[in-house]
Structure 1
Amino acid sequence: MNDVALPFESFGVSHKGCVREHNEDSYLLEPRTGLWAVADGMGGHEAGEVASASIVDHLATIGIASSAPDLRARFEDRLSRANAEIRGISESRGITIGSTVAALLAMDGRFACLWAGDSRIYLIRNASISQISKDHTEVQELLDRGMISAAEALTWPRRNVITHAVGVSDEFVIDFQQGELMPGDIFVLSTDGLTAHVTDAEIEAAVVSATPQAACENLLETVLTRGGTDNVTIVLVKIKKGRNGQSLHPDWSGAEGEGR
């Protein structure tokens, strides 16, 4: 999907993979409102699909914000509504369901990344990739505490246990990072079905010289060729040009790199 009226070029793909019967991922591209998101549902028996769809459906109602802080406030409000809806569905079905979320907000020369769970956000700038998000997983907490090594984390038996998600409790945790947009920046949002099969270096190589559509399709093909053990969703956002080189709103009502 492209939007030539704004300095963003974006595209998204989603696939159930080679093993799963259902695709419980969802994604959203809203370049006119400055919002892109991926969500990875959990719960099985199609319940995860309901959870991720709830997040995307609520985020799609954000509309045009008046400022960057307003856009972030609208995002958090819609996510809170989705959390309440998912909680209601869980109670009615007598099961626990939920969803990760990873989102990019962009407005007035600035970006904000917000996430819960292990869906990731990468930034490729000057042909170098960096992971903006930090996984909310048991294995990441063990790494942070120095209890296991990076090598051990790759084969840790509970490496997919998520510590934060939307819909699993009345209160949810969303982490936040912000920064200044630069021409040529490329953001990659993905569920863990991508990173289970493709390295950061391979992601970088796939996106630096390709259109968002070609990069998404090539990355998806790589995942499926390697077995596609999970649902996979990929969203790419490329900044085509700056807006007068200025940031009209210097922050998103928080200090640089603030966590929430």
Structure 2
Amino acid sequence: MKDEGWLRYAAMTDIGMRERNEDACFAGRVSGYHLFAIADGLGGHACGDVASRMAVEVLEEVVSEELSAFDPAEALKRAFRRINTAIFAFNRERGLNAGTTLSVAIVGDAGRCWIGTVGDSRTYIITSSSVWHTRDHTYVQSLVDAGMISPAEAFYHPAKNILTRALGLEARVVVDLDERELSPGSVLLLSSDGLHDYVPGDLIQQIVRANDPDTACRKLIDAAREAASTDNITVIVAKPLPGARHP
């Protein structure tokens, strides 16, 4: 667990029931901002673990370069483009189909969050009264959007792991961008689907609000294991420090 600036945060990953961990994450300070990211290499695709590591490595490099010249939203766009290009080129050179999801939050010292997502790894902003998270790029989410099933039905749908968008599989990719506020009393959570495909949102909300970031990470992973998660499980939890004020 780290205290940096006005935030306290922790990151944790667990191999779960898989033979190898294809998740990768980053949590740290870059160019005056907090940068948090989780990538989940695609199971069943060659070198999914390589793709997820490439994603977070290129992300850190590009964001550190671009934040000095561009606003965070533009830096995110450029980072996702570079990541997709790098993994796509890696695939073409080797005849592979490595791919990865990626969800990223750049957090400014005023509490503003710039969030970019491809795939079904998620970024959450959780308060005492609400749970907001990024939109999954999955077949099941498309059914929810079309009104064919409810969000509750989506949680139990057998095809919820089918992605409609990922990094590295095509020459170009569309990135979802969001802007949110991380206010005092709220919690920033990033997770791979090994958590949120198995643990209900109300329990996630309860765990992250009741515990410090390190304890919350451990309890989230425990909850996913208890729910019989069959995937790698990676989580990042960040909270404003008690009594902290934005600079």
TM-score normalised by structure 2 residue count? 0.89
The alpha carbon displacement at 1:119 in A equals: 0.9
Counterpart of 2:114 (choices 112, 115, 135) is 112
Q: CA RMSD in A?
A: 2.0
Whole-Å Cα distance in 1 between the matches of residues 154 and 214 of structure 2?
32
Gaps of 5+ in 2: none
Contact 2:46–2:96 (8 Å) recurs in 1: no
Aligned equivalent of 2:81: 80
The number of equivalent residue pairs is 240
Aligned equivalent of 2:54: 54
SS at 1:189's partner residue?
A: strand
Aligned equivalent of 1:31: 29
Contact 1:182–1:242 (8 Å) recurs in 2: no
The 5 Å alignment of 1:172-187 reads 172-187=173-188
The alpha carbon displacement at 1:128 in A equals: 2.7
SS at 1:34's partner residue?
A: strand
Residues 1:92 and 2:93 aligned together = yes
SS at 1:193's partner residue?
A: helix
SS at 1:63's partner residue?
A: helix
Whole-Å Cα distance in 1 between the matches of residues 220 and 74 of structure 2?
33
Aligned equivalent of 1:166: 167
Whole-Å Cα distance in 1 between the matches of residues 45 and 171 of structure 2?
23
Contact 1:165–1:173 (8 Å) recurs in 2: no
SS at 2:174's partner residue?
A: coil
The alpha carbon displacement at 1:79 in A equals: 2.3
Letter in 2 for 1:98: G
Whole-Å Cα distance in 2 between the matches of residues 228 and 149 of structure 1?
22
Aligned equivalent of 1:243: 246
Aligned equivalent of 2:123: 121
Contact 2:138–2:161 (8 Å) recurs in 1: yes
Aligned equivalent of 1:15: 14
Whole-Å Cα distance in 2 between the matches of residues 151 and 186 of structure 1?
23
Whole-Å Cα distance in 1 between the matches of residues 183 and 155 of structure 2?
33
The alpha carbon displacement at 1:96 in A equals: 1.6
- Cα pair distance change 1:225/1:93, threshold 3 Å: same
Contact 1:17–1:228 (8 Å) recurs in 2: yes
The alpha carbon displacement at 1:10 in A equals: 0.9
Contact 1:102–1:121 (8 Å) recurs in 2: yes
The alpha carbon displacement at 1:102 in A equals: 0.8
Gaps of 5+ in 1: 245-260
Bigger Cα displacement from structure 2, 97-106 vs 78-87:
78-87
Whole-Å Cα distance in 2 between the matches of residues 129 and 200 of structure 1?
10
**Which digits, 9 at most, give the CA deviation of each residue in 1:28-57, with x for residues without a partner?**
002353210001111536611011101100
Bigger Cα displacement from structure 2, 234-243 vs 190-199:
234-243
Letter in 2 for 1:57: E
The alpha carbon displacement at 1:131 in A equals: 2.4
Identity of aligned residues (%): 34
Letter in 2 for 1:50: V
The alpha carbon displacement at 1:150 in A equals: 3.8
The alpha carbon displacement at 1:120 in A equals: 1.2
Whole-Å Cα distance in 2 between the matches of residues 189 and 234 of structure 1?
6
The alpha carbon displacement at 1:151 in A equals: 4.8
Bigger Cα displacement from structure 2, 131-140 vs 20-29:
131-140
Contact 1:24–1:46 (8 Å) recurs in 2: no
TM-score normalised by structure 1 residue count? 0.85
Aligned equivalent of 2:137: 136
The alpha carbon displacement at 1:243 in A equals: 1.9
